[in-house]
Amino acid sequence: MRNLIIALALVVSGTLAAAQQYDVVVEGGRIIDPETGLDAVRNVGIREGKIASVSVAPLSGRRVIHADGLVVAPGFIDLHQHAQDLASQRLKAFDGVTTALEMEIGAPDVTQFLKAKEGRSLIHYGTTASHVAARSLIFGAPLPEGTILPKSGAATDQAATPEQIQRIQQRLRDEIDAGALGIGMGIEYTPGATRLEVIDMFRVAAERKLPVYTHMRSAGRVEPGSAIASVEEVIGAAAITGASLHIVHINSTCLRDSLECISLIEGARARGLDVTTEAYPYIAGMTAINSAVFNPGWREKLGIDYGSLVIPDTGEHLTKDRFDELHNSGKQQWVLIFANTQEVVDAVIPDPLIMIASDGAEGHPRNAGTYSRVLAQYVREKKTLTLIEALRKMTLMPAQMLERSTPAAHRKGRLQEGADADVVIFDPQNIADRSTFEKPMEPSVGVQYLLVGGTVLIDDGKMVPNVFPGRPVPGPRKAVTTTNR
Ligand SMILES: [Zn+2]
């Protein structure tokens, strides 16, 4: 009897100790970690924002999430998210995203961007330094509050003087010192930037050992200025300077030549260059209609006419008159651009070099549905991607790109002991996008739980109110060198 009591006491005290061991335990889910290839039922113990245990043995915690039948994966990392307001962050969360970064163009003012989000962000955030904004500033036409793209004009279309190029470079260095994760270049939005100006911006990135994220100079097949030439330009700049390069939305820039463009990147990588790319699973793009993308020649370049441009809120297809009015307006209006085909998108998404990134902004369904759509359409329906490969494109690959900017990214995109507890728990049978071109703000379904830095943000399919677990990635990075080129 005495032995039994001692044994019971040991069991009880052991259980109590275990009960206090973890803040959150995710129990019985199918754990998928693309880096190690783990795909098995495990229990996950989370403590102080980190994954402390991935275990076959039962774990106890103050909060237990039962994940039977659900997939437990690293939270998705979106390298390309423009809309950074709470309404869009909420959509990203329901799409499985725990980190959403403005890397393509970059916030116009890094200090302001980071300050505005401190303590008020649902998911992790960060930005590149914006070449487009720096150029506008130096040309004396700073971007209007709340915008990231300039109206087509002198600041976008004229070549910069050598002195102006130096001032743009200095602005980018200051923005990097303020905490930028690299340099964002929307070359198509600044067609006045010469090849040399582009190379000079890559030189700043190389000097700070940071990557360049770029929306390339041009789309389509018309020469000079084809998508192929645009890929050559930035790969050339990367080769010349040594900066790492990430080419955004290869699908919407290269269109029918997307697979050719991917093969160029493959070739550059085979020659030892650090070049990566991404795509989103939609046939339309979206941008500001008064931007330089719509300077004369766009119809020939994109192979479309006015009617392929659609106003998101109203569904209005444009005519020449309506286009002229909006293109010449100072007011920034987003427009959907139907220039791609489903065949191209379906061929691009499964390609092993493609990571998934949304290019999210209000008005386009990609803002809400990108990740769930890939899981629903390519993994479940078309079966052109395995689940673990799809997750690799959403977690490990973007984390590895982010490692060029910050060692903190080694702890992201992984479901391993020591990793940040950014975790998505979803139903693989049900996960799906609901957003459409008509209703772009419909949240995805299927994400049952989402943990951001160990904090439960989505709980049993519902958003937890008044928690803001989002943190900056990686936090301000100070100058590491002041050498000139
Ligand atoms: Zn773009």
CA of 79 to the centre of ligand 1 (A): 12
CA of 188 to the centre of ligand 1 (A): 8
CA of 147 to the centre of ligand 1 (A): 14
pLDDT given at position 20: 58
CA of 377 to the centre of ligand 1 (A): 23
Peptide bond into 474 cis (omega under 30): yes
CA of 391 to the centre of ligand 1 (A): 23
Residue 140: helix, strand or coil by DSSP?
Answer: coil
**117 band by pLDDT with thresholds 50, 70 and 90:** very high
Question: Average of pLDDT values for 170-174?
Answer: 98
pLDDT given at position 313: 87
d(CA 224, CA 229): 8
pLDDT given at position 479: 42
d(CA 457, CA 479): 34
CA of 134 to the centre of ligand 1 (A): 17
For residue 478, pLDDT over 90 is answered with no
Neighbours of 241 (CB within 10 A): 21
For residue 234, pLDDT over 60 is answered with yes
CA of 78 to the centre of ligand 1 (A): 14
pLDDT given at position 4: 53
CA of 243 to the centre of ligand 1 (A): 20
Question: Average of pLDDT values for 64-86?
Answer: 98
CA of 277 to the centre of ligand 1 (A): 12
Q: Tell me the two tokens of residue 279.
A: 């795509």
Question: Average of pLDDT values for 457-483?
Answer: 79
Q: Among 13-22, 26-35, 418-427, which is the least confidently predicted range?
A: 13-22
For residue 2, pLDDT over 90 is answered with no
* Parallel/antiparallel/unpaired status of strands 97-107 and 447-452: unpaired
Question: Average of pLDDT values for 163-167?
Answer: 98
pLDDT given at position 6: 52
Q: Could you tell me which of 24, 33, 16 has the C-alpha nearest to residue 66?
A: 24
CA of 285 to the centre of ligand 1 (A): 8
Helix axes 162-177, 195-207, angle to 10 degrees: 30
pLDDT given at position 484: 38
CA of 375 to the centre of ligand 1 (A): 23
**461 band by pLDDT with thresholds 50, 70 and 90:** very high
pLDDT given at position 3: 58
CA of 240 to the centre of ligand 1 (A): 24
Q: What is the mean pLDDT of the chain?
A: 94
For residue 175, pLDDT over 80 is answered with yes
CA of 435 to the centre of ligand 1 (A): 20
For residue 327, pLDDT over 70 is answered with yes
CA of 357 to the centre of ligand 1 (A): 11
- Number of helices and strands in the chain (H, E): 16, 20
For residue 476, pLDDT over 90 is answered with no
Question: Average of pLDDT values for 9-36?
Answer: 77
Question: Average of pLDDT values for 209-217?
Answer: 97
CA of 278 to the centre of ligand 1 (A): 11
pLDDT given at position 475: 55
pLDDT given at position 481: 41
d(CA 113, CA 159): 28
pLDDT given at position 480: 44
CA of 293 to the centre of ligand 1 (A): 10
**206 band by pLDDT with thresholds 50, 70 and 90:** very high
For residue 13, pLDDT over 50 is answered with no
Residue 381: helix, strand or coil by DSSP?
Answer: helix
CA of 80 to the centre of ligand 1 (A): 9
pLDDT given at position 326: 97
pLDDT given at position 7: 53
